[in-house]
């Protein structure tokens, strides 16, 4: 007697525990793809924004004009523009105070820019740990469902007089679906995590470099007595 081993039937005929494992893995896959899509858009915007800002910044434009353009935007600036806006705003504020030495002004600017950078990196790294968790645990969750299903299949052999492949195959096939779904959830999550973690690391290096370069520009302003031009 032939057995219907269609994918839908294997899921519907699986035991409750295996179905629960499959449902958990499908939910993990949905969460994973949601994070992948949102993170891709976020990182692409951060890279594009940083590229555009660097082009504008190193074109030799006036720092006050660049700052005013950014400040006019009602939304809080992210990426590299956010670092510049936070640092230059602090530079203007501290430079306007009395009895502030250039070293104190620059130290305040450096602290502000590093705090802004940490917040930006936290925003970029958000949910990457979730991707890593889904990628690393999904295969084992699927394997648990497979082992459980195979155990049930072999336990069921005790109720039949002759054990044949036709008797065992449906139960084993149903159990193996859990492993397949686990891999389906894990592989995109692992690939996306590695790719996005690399992009975040590259952006962090760019931010570090910009902070140092911008800090050198502000040093020249502060020590040459031109701090009043930023007021």
Whether residue 187 is contained in a domain is answered as: yes
Question: Using CA atoms, how far apart are residues 173 and 167, in angstroms rounded to an integer?
Answer: 11
Question: Using CA atoms, how far apart are residues 120 and 78, in angstroms rounded to an integer?
Answer: 7
Whether residue 222 is contained in a domain is answered as: yes
- The whole-angstrom distance between residue 145's C-alpha and the CA centroid of its chain comes to 29
Whether residue 69 is contained in a domain is answered as: yes
pLDDT at 100: 78
Are the C-beta atoms of 84 and 70 separated by less than 8 Å?
Answer: yes
Question: Using CA atoms, how far apart are residues 138 and 201, in angstroms rounded to an integer?
Answer: 25
Q: 3-class DSSP state for residue 155?
A: helix
Total of domains in the chain: 1
Domain residues for the domain of 43 are 7-230
From the number of C-beta atoms within 10 Å of its C-beta (0-12, 13-18, 19+), residue 9 rates as middle
pLDDT at 111: 93
pLDDT at 227: 40
Whether residue 211 is contained in a domain is answered as: yes
Question: Using CA atoms, how far apart are residues 137 and 220, in angstroms rounded to an integer?
Answer: 52
Q: State pTM to two decimals.
A: 0.81
Whether residue 2 is contained in a domain is answered as: no
The residues, ordered by sequence, that sit 6+ positions from 45 with a Cβ below 8 Å of its Cβ are 78, 79
pLDDT at 152: 77
pLDDT at 202: 95
pLDDT at 4: 54
Question: Using CA atoms, how far apart are residues 174 and 148, in angstroms rounded to an integer?
Answer: 11
Whether residue 137 is contained in a domain is answered as: yes
- Owner of token pair 């290096």: 205
Whether residue 58 is contained in a domain is answered as: yes
From the number of C-beta atoms within 10 Å of its C-beta (0-12, 13-18, 19+), residue 113 rates as buried
pLDDT at 226: 45
pLDDT digits (tens, 9 = 90+) for 127-165: 999 999 999 999 999 999 888 888 877 776 666 666 565
DSSP string, 76-90: PP-HHHHHHHHHHHH
Identify the segments of the chain with pLDDT beneath 70: 1-7, 9, 74-77, 156-171, 223-231
Whether residue 128 is contained in a domain is answered as: yes
Residue 3 region by backbone torsions, left for phi larger than 0, else alpha for psi between -120 and 50, else beta: beta
């Amino acid at each position: 007697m032939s057995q219907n081993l269609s994918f839908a039937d294997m899921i519907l005929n699986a035991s409750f525990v295996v179905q629960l494992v499959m449902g958990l893995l499908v939910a993990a896959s949905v969460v994973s793809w949601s994070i992948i899509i949102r993170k891709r858009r976020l990182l692409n915007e951060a890279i594009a924004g940083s590229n555009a800002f660097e082009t504008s910044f190193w074109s030799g434009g006036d720092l006050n004009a660049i700052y005013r353009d950014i400040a006019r935007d009602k939304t809080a600036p992210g990426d590299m523009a956010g670092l510049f806006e936070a640092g230059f705003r602090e530079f203007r504020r501290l430079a306007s105070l009395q009895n502030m030495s250039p070293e104190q002004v620059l130290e305040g600017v450096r602290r502000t820019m590093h705090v802004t950078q940490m917040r930006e990196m936290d925003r970029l790294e958000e949910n990457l740990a979730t991707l890593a968790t889904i990628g690393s645990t999904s295969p084992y969750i699927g394997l648990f469902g497979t082992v459980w299903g195979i155990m049930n299949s072999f336990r069921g052999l005790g109720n039949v007089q002759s054990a044949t492949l036709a008797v065992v195959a449906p139960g084993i096939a149903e159990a193996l679906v859990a492993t397949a779904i686990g891999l389906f959830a894990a592989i995109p999550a692992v690939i996306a995590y590695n790719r996005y973690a690399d992009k975040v690391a590259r952006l962090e290096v760019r931010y570090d470099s910009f902070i140092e370069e911008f800090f050198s520009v502000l040093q020249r302003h502060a020590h040459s007595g031109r701090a009043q031009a930023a007021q």
